């Protein structure tokens, strides 16, 4: 009896040690996320004149506070996951600066019943943030190794409302269209017409446009209910080129 009690005690202490270490790690990431959110809110205020958004809405803020960005960066860069800067993710690609992810999501004006398309899955982080804000996310990535790793990261983080595929995002995802919103996370030198065609009336396309290795413009294009689209320019950005 005494031996069994000692075994139970050792097991209990081991569980406390494991869960305690997890709690410490979670607390560390929570503090880092809080610091990052303060930086993002400051960036939002500084760019408000150009973007029209001086602060994050509740849904986007909650998504940024919830999604574990450390799951979407290479393991050796996990300690830098909550720095407000882009990070390399392999294959010559990067995970976007958190402020840019936040701004692009806010510019999309996501709602809980929306269905959205992301062109350029990359690490999967932007898709995960969107998944916290909308009903369904479709995401396309042309670089197969990135697409597979992103799918693994999304599954590990529990995002079941994201459907991914390997393919040419310039063409969109016509069989799932029309979309309430589309986000493009790489820069073409012009706006792909197929993407505008796949917007619902009133839907929004948030896209960086401009030449590679130069400053690009982050555009918000809204599909009018009369069939015409309006374009608004926001801030200067720099993205990797959209690959065909």
Could you list the active site residues? 96
Cα distances (Å, whole numbers) of residue 17 to 12, 69, 80: 9, 25, 26
Helix (H, G, I), strand (E, B) or coil at 38: helix
Contact 196, 182 (CB under 8 A): no
Q: Give kind and range of the element (H or E) at residue 199.
A: strand 199-209
| CA-based R_g, the chain, Å | 20
Rounded to whole angstroms, how far apart are CA atoms 192 and 242?
A: 10
For the chain, the residue count is 244
Q: Are 242 and 120 in contact (CB under 8 A)?
A: yes
Please give the Cα distance from 97 to 81 (Å, whole number).
10
């Amino acid at each position: 009896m005494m031996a069994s009690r000692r075994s139970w005690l050792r097991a209990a202490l081991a569980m406390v040690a494991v869960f305690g270490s997890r709690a410490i790690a979670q607390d560390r990431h929570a503090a880092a996320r809080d610091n990052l959110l303060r930086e993002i809110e400051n960036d939002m205020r500084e760019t408000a004149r150009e973007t029209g958004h001086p602060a994050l809405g509740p849904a986007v803020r909650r998504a940024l506070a919830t999604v574990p960005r450390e799951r979407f960066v290479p393991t050796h860069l996990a300690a830098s996951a909550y720095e407000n800067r882009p990070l390399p993710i392999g294959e010559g690609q990067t995970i976007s600066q958190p402020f840019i992810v936040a701004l692009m999501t806010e510019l999309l004006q996501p709602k809980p019943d929306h269905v959205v398309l992301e062109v350029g899955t990359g690490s999967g982080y932007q898709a995960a943030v969107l998944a916290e804000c909308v009903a369904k996310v479709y995401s396309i990535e042309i670089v197969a190794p990135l697409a597979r790793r992103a799918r693994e990261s999304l599954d590990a983080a529990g995002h079941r409302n994201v459907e991914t595929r390997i393919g040419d995002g310039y063409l969109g995802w016509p069989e799932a269209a029309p979309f309430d919103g589309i986000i493009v996370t790489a820069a073409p030198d012009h706006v792909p017409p197929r993407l505008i065609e796949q917007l619902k009336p009133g839907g929004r396309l948030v896209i960086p446009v401009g030449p590679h290795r130069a400053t690009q413009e982050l555009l918000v294009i809204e599909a009018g209910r009369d069939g015409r689209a309006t374009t608004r320019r926001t801030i200067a950005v720099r993205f990797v080129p959209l690959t065909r």
